[in-house]
């Protein structure tokens, strides 16, 4: 290969993470050793070699990685990689690489790949992280109990009660009684040597006729089973079950940092989504609902700890909100009597889209079957005020903009709602439309589906193909851009304090939501959730498959990063916010975040061309 052929390859490789951290001489060596293959969609799948593993680098085209059951694990385009799991594990992969678009793929041999890993720590770290992410993606499709997939660091009691090896049985009993715990760890020079439990005191001391002066060393369980704070609850439960244990000391750096008990695990079950919702539905007094709502932050932390997808977390938390809302409506109707007419409780914004996270406020309204008389007006005013107050007491604060059912402006008949939407659509004033955009992300939480469908069908019929309305909606959606400046540097903002950060919500997730909303309303798509909108639009051919998949991935990545950041803020007892400081994440994550923002920026350009071309 002469210099003229080599240089483009070198330039391409140096543009890729992590090859960009290698010396130029190494990139030239890599370029010389690459083999080039062309794959056509007529081949359907890439056949991976089973006798010798390679790293595959996508130069052009589009590919999907699926597990043996056909579940999607990854989507690949220019600059992406596959084949590295086998290189790292030494095992033949049974995943399938499907060809979506014709493309070129570079193949790098295992010897060169391993040589680069040994020479460059960042190179090695990149592919290990990529492999870990692939494993997480593979696991996310398998049914799992979120409580058992969380880490025990979130459940264990801190700190563990401890006594020295020279202590007596009486000392152990007094310490346990004073601390109101059922176990104590025994240490020697701060090293764990044993454990004593309530059961040991009964069976090994009282039943054996020993007195309190007996050394704990003679009755303790030596060298007990232990776990680390990062151990999955599922794994800890397996150890407890197999070994018939009720206590597990938690070690970190060979030091006891806590104790996990069977009671801790039983308590954690109460934060499972389905159990929590079932308990909500059983309550007969509002005060109990408010008490149950205190478990929601714990549920969120468990979901984050379990590394659940952001889309899954949004659906789970919204399901809990829906359950609380419905039960508040039912309990208050028990006090007020039967409603004078059919009605729907409407949810807008994040609850409507089913993507709620922490710090959610209320966005709701009432849809009435027909115009109310004085009695009906008073009834629904009392009902909505009570429900909104209950939601506020449950942690869903009052909407600063007053978009709540307790506001008489947002309690309307079907005819009145249709008229309100008609005015927004036919005379789309920019400022009014900006405030009204969340109303187009609506869902019925309570009430007859037929009533809600009558409103939704009417709204979508008026937005479909309405160029003037869609242009106004698009113009509003484009007023905010992703936080990338010159040379793709992050644009930082203040979060209300002196701390500068990236606004992941308003400069990231909200922009994808806006784009999906415009496309969905343009064709009368009934889906409200952003991921489902993108999927429906892709299946209908409204937007390009690659664009839909890229936007869905960008939305998930940004949302996942936002949740992980809030999880850290919660753990450090800091106020929860949507702001992320770039210095708090790795160089690789910063690179991936920039790529996600670039996808959003490109999608904004596309929606501008499509809906503002006539302006």
Q: Is 164 in a helix, a strand, or coil?
A: strand
Question: Residue 455: what pLDDT?
Answer: 97
User: What pLDDT score was predicted for residue 1?
Assistant: 58
pLDDT value for 592 = 84
Determine the Cα–Cα distance for residues 536 and 605; give it in Å rounded to an integer.
21
Confidence of residue 483 (pLDDT cuts 50, 70, 90): very high
| pLDDT (average), residues 290-303 | 86
The sign of the dihedral angle between the CA atoms of 157, 159, 165, 170 is negative
Nearest to 500 by CA among 397, 582, 428, 406: 582
Q: What is the mean predicted confidence (pLDDT) over 35-60? A: 88
Instruction: Return the SS3 of 335.
Output: helix
Per-residue pLDDT band at 98 (split at 50, 70, 90): very high
Indicate the DSSP class of residue 229. Answer: T
Query: What architecture (CATH level 2) is domain 473-611?
Result: Up-down Bundle (1.20)
Positions of CATH 3.10.580.10 in the chain = 152-267
Q: Judge whether residue 478 has pLDDT over 80.
A: yes
pLDDT at position 139 is 47
Q: What average pLDDT does the segment 265-283 reach? A: 73
**pLDDT beyond 80 at 401:** yes
Of the candidates 499, 519, 507, 527, the one whose C-alpha atom is nearest the C-alpha of residue 596 is 507
d(CA 566, CA 495): 14
Average pLDDT over residues 69-75: 76
- Decide the pairing of beta strands 62-66 and 72-76: antiparallel
Helices (H), 54-168: 84-89, 110-119, 121-140
Say whether pLDDT at 141 is over 50.
no
Given a cut of 70, whether residue 514 has pLDDT beyond it is yes
Q: What is the pLDDT of residues 429-461, one digit of tens each?
A: 877 787 788 999 999 999 999 999 999 999 999
**For the stretch 237-251, what's the b/e string if a residue is b when 16 or more beta carbons lie within 10 angstroms of its beta carbon?**
beebeeeebebbbbb
- The answer for residues whose C-beta is within 8 angstroms of residue 245's C-beta and 6 or more apart is 225, 239
pLDDT at 298 over 50: yes
What pLDDT does 222 receive?
94
Query: Would you state the pLDDT for residue 615?
Result: 47
Length of the chain: 615
pLDDT number for residue 301: 82
> What topology does CATH give the domain 270-425+435-453?
Beta Polymerase; domain 2 (3.30.460)
Counting beta carbons within 10 angstroms of the beta carbon of residue 409, is it exposed (0 to 12), middle (13 to 18) or buried (19 or more)? exposed
* Domain 3-140 in CATH 2.60.120.10: yes
How many C-beta atoms surround the C-beta of residue 430 within 10 A? 11
Confidence of residue 360 (pLDDT cuts 50, 70, 90): confident
Strand pairing class (191-197; 183-188): antiparallel
Q: Where in the chain is the domain with CATH 2.60.120.10?
A: 3-140
Global pTM reads 0.62
Q: Quote the percentage of the chain above a pLDDT of 70.
A: 91
pLDDT for 140 beyond 50: no
Q: Is residue 268 within 8 Å of residue 155, measured between CB atoms?
A: yes
Residues of the chain with CATH 1.20.120.330: 473-611
Q: What is the mean pLDDT of the chain?
A: 87
Q: Does 90 have pLDDT greater than 80?
A: no
Cβ–Cβ under 8 Å, residues 131 and 172: no
pLDDT at position 614 over 70: no
Residue 3, pLDDT > 80, answer no
Which one of 2.30.30.230, 3.90.1150.10, 2.60.40.10, 3.10.580.10 gives the CATH number of domain 152-267?
3.10.580.10
Residue 12 CA, distance from chain mean position: 33
Pairing of strands 96-101, 45-46: antiparallel
- Dist CA 112 CA 123 (whole Å): 12
Dist. CA 556–CA 518, nearest whole Å: 19
Residue 269 scores a pLDDT above 70: no
Strand 35-39 relative to strand 103-109, pairing:
antiparallel
pLDDT band of 359, cuts 50, 70, 90: low
């Amino acid at each position: 290969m002469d210099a003229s052929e080599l240089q483009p390859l070198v330039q391409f490789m140096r543009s890729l993470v992590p090859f960009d951290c290698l010396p130029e001489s190494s990139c030239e060596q890599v370029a010389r050793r690459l083999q080039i293959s062309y794959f056509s969609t007529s081949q359907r799948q890439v056949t991976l070699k089973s006798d010798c593993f390679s790293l595959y680098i996508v130069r052009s085209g589009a590919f999907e990685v699926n597990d043996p059951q056909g579940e999607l694990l990854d989507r690949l385009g220019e600059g992406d990689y596959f084949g590295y799991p086998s290189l790292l594990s030494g095992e033949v992969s049974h995943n399938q690489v499907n060809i979506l678009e014709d493309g070129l793929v570079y193949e790098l041999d295992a010897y060169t790949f391993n040589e680069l890993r040994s020479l460059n720590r960042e190179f090695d770290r990149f592919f290990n992280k990529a492999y870990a992410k692939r494993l997480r993606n593979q696991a996310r499709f398998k049914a799992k109990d979120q409580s058992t997939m969380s880490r025990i660091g979130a459940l264990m009691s801190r700190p563990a009660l401890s006594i020295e090896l020279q202590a007596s049985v009486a000392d152990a009993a007094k310490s346990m009684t004073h601390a109101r715990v059922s176990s104590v760890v025994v240490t020697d020079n701060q090293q764990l040597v044993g454990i004593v439990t309530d059961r040991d005191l009964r069976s090994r001391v009282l039943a054996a006729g020993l007195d309190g002066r007996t050394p704990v060393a003679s009755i303790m369980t030596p060298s007990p089973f232990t776990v680390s704070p990062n151990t999955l609850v599922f794994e800890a439960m397996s150890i407890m079950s197999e070994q018939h244990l009720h206590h597990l000391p938690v070690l970190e750096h060979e030091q006891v940092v806590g104790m996990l008990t069977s009671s801790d695990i039983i308590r954690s079950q109460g934060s499972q989504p389905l159990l929590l919702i079932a308990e909500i539905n059983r309550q007969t007094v509002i005060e109990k609902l408010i008490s149950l709502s205190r478990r929601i932050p714990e549920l969120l932390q468990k979901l984050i700890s379990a590394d659940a997808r952001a889309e899954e977390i949004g659906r789970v938390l919204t399901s809990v909100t829906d359950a609380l809302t419905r039960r508040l409506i039912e309990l208050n109707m028990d006090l007020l009597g039967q409603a004078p007419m059919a009605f729907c409780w409407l949810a807008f914004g994040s609850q409507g889209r089913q993507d709620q996270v922490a710090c959610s406020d209320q966005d709701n309204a009432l849809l009435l079957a027909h115009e109310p008389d004085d009695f009906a007006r008073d009834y629904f005013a009392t009902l909505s005020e009570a429900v909104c107050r209950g939601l506020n007491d449950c942690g869903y604060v009052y909407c600063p903009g007053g978009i709540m059912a307790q506001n008489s402006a947002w309690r309307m008949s079907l005819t009145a709602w249709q008229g309100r939407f008609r005015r927004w659509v036919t005379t789309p004033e920019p400022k009014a439309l900006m405030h009204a955009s969340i109303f187009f992300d609506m869902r019925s939480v309570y009430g007859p589906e037929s009533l809600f469908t009558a409103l939704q069908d009417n709204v979508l019929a008026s937005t479909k193909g309405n160029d003037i309305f869609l242009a106004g909606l698009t113009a509003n959606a484009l007023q905010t851009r992703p936080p990338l400046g010159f040379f793709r540097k992050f644009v930082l903002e203040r979060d209300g304090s002196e701390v500068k950060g990236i606004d992941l919500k308003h400069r990231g997730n909200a922009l994808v939501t806006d784009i999906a909303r415009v496309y969905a309303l343009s064709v009368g798509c009934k889906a409200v959730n952003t991921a489902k909108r993108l999927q429906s639009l892709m299946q209908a051919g409204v937007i390009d498959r690659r664009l839909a998949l890229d936007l869905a991935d960008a939305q998930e990545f940004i949302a996942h990063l936002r949740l992980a950041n809030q999880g850290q803020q919660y753990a450090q007892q800091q106020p929860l916010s949507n702001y992320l400081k770039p210095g708090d994440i790795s160089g690789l994550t910063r690179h991936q975040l920039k790529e996600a923002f670039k996808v959003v920026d490109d999608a904004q350009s596309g929606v501008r061309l499509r809906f503002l071309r006539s302006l």
